[in-house]
Structure 1
Amino acid sequence: MTNDDDHRGRRVRPENVDDLTVEALGSLSKALETTERARGHLYSFHQLTGTADLELDRAVALLGRAGHEEWAALVEREVLGRNVIPGHWTFQVVESYDRTYYEPFKKVERDAVEALAGGRPHLYEAEMKERRRTHGHRDHTATPEETP
C-alpha cells in the first residue's frame, strides 16, 4: 500500500482537494499523455527517416550498377544524409523537443500533482473507475488485491 491508497488499497483523494482541482489535474495529465503520444510519433519520424536514409545507400549503389551514375551521384549529393530542417538531423529534433518542451511539461505535471493532490496521480481516473465499476462483480474489482 502506498500513500496514494486507503486501507483497502484504493486510490483516494486528500480531504482538502475539491472536484474542480481533480478535474483540472485530470486534464493536465490527459494533455501530458497526448504529448507522450506525440513524442512517440516524433521517435517514429526519427526512425523512419533514418531507415529511409540508410536505404538510400542501396539505391545509390543500384543506380550506379545499372549505369545511371549521374542519378546515383544526384541522390547521394542532394538527399543522402541531408538535414531534415536547417542544421538538424532527426536525432537533434528529438533532443530539442525533449529538452525544450517534453521534460518541462512532465516536471510541471508532476509538481502540480504533488502540490495540489498530495502526490496522488490519476485521481480523476481512479474516481471514474469507482463510479463505473459494478461492485461485487469479480471482473470489476477496485484493486488487483481484491481480484478473486
Structure 2
Amino acid sequence: MVSDSKDHSDQLSDQEREALHQVELGIEHLHRAHGHLVSFHHDTGRAMDHLADAEDHLRQCGYDELADELRDEYLPRGVVTDDTADDTHAGRWSYDLLENYQDVFLADLVDFGEAVTQQVADGLRHAAERKQEFDWKARARRE
C-alpha cells in the first residue's frame, strides 16, 4: 500500500507498478483506437456525401436506374448490417458504432482504469514512468 506523499511510486512493488502500467497502456491504446474510429466515421461520412452527389450526376446523365440503386440500396445502408433483419437498411451507421464505443466500451474501461489506479496507487498515474524518471535522474547525477 502507498503513503500520503505526493509521489509514492517508489513505495509500490514492481508487480503493482507493472499492473498499473499495463492497465494504463491498455486504456491509452483504447483512446488511440477511438481516434481511428472517429477517422473511420468521418471518412465514411465523406464517402457517403460523395456518393450522394454521384446520385445526382448519374441522374443528370440519364442513368436513372443506377441513381435509384444508389439512393435505395446503398445510401441508407449502415456500415454494419444485421443479418437477422429483413430490412437491409437495419444496419448500424458509423456514428452509432462511435457512440456505443465512446459511451459504453471506452467509458466503462476508463472508469475501471481509474478505479485500479485509485485502489492500487491512491490515484497516482504513470507510476512506472515516475519510477523510471526518478531512476534515470538519480543515475545521471552519479555518473
Scaled by the length of structure 1, the TM-score of the pair is 0.77
Match of 2:64 in 1: 69
Task: Indicate yes or no: 2:131 matched with 1:127.
Answer: yes
Give the ranges of 4+ consecutive aligned residues of structure 1 lying more than 4 Å apart after TM superposition.
none
SS at match of 2:9: coil
Task: Indicate yes or no: 2:123 matched with 1:108.
Answer: no
Compute the displacement of 1:75 (Å).
1.1
Match of 2:98 in 1: 94
Compute the displacement of 1:120 (Å).
0.4
SS at match of 1:135: helix
Task: Indicate yes or no: 2:14 matched with 1:19.
Answer: yes
* Shift in CA distance, 135/12, structure 1 to aligned 2, threshold 3 Å: farther
> Partners of 2:5 and 2:25 in 1: how far apart?
19
> Partners of 2:13 and 2:8 in 1: how far apart?
12
> Partners of 2:136 and 2:73 in 1: how far apart?
57
> Partners of 2:50 and 2:134 in 1: how far apart?
51
Scaled by the length of structure 2, the TM-score of the pair is 0.80
Compute the displacement of 1:81 (Å).
2.5
> Partners of 1:75 and 1:20 in 2: how far apart?
56
> Partners of 1:32 and 1:24 in 2: how far apart?
12
Match of 2:55 among 53, 57, 60: 60
- Deviations along 1:92-148, whole A, 9 cap, x unmatched? 111222233111100010011011101100011121223345736xxxxxxxxxxxx
Compute the displacement of 1:14 (Å).
6.3
> Partners of 2:56 and 2:5 in 1: how far apart?
59
More helix by share: 2
Compute the displacement of 1:69 (Å).
1.4
Please provide the CA RMSD for this pair.
Answer: 2.0
> Unaligned 5+ residue runs, structure 2?
83-90
> Unaligned 5+ residue runs, structure 1?
6-10, 137-148
Match of 1:36 among 31, 37, 40: 31
> Partners of 1:38 and 1:21 in 2: how far apart?
26
Amino acid aligned to 2:42 = Q
- Deviations along 1:16-69, whole A, 9 cap, x unmatched? x21110111001100111111111111111111111111112111111112211
Compute the displacement of 1:12 (Å).
3.6
> Partners of 1:81 and 1:122 in 2: how far apart?
45
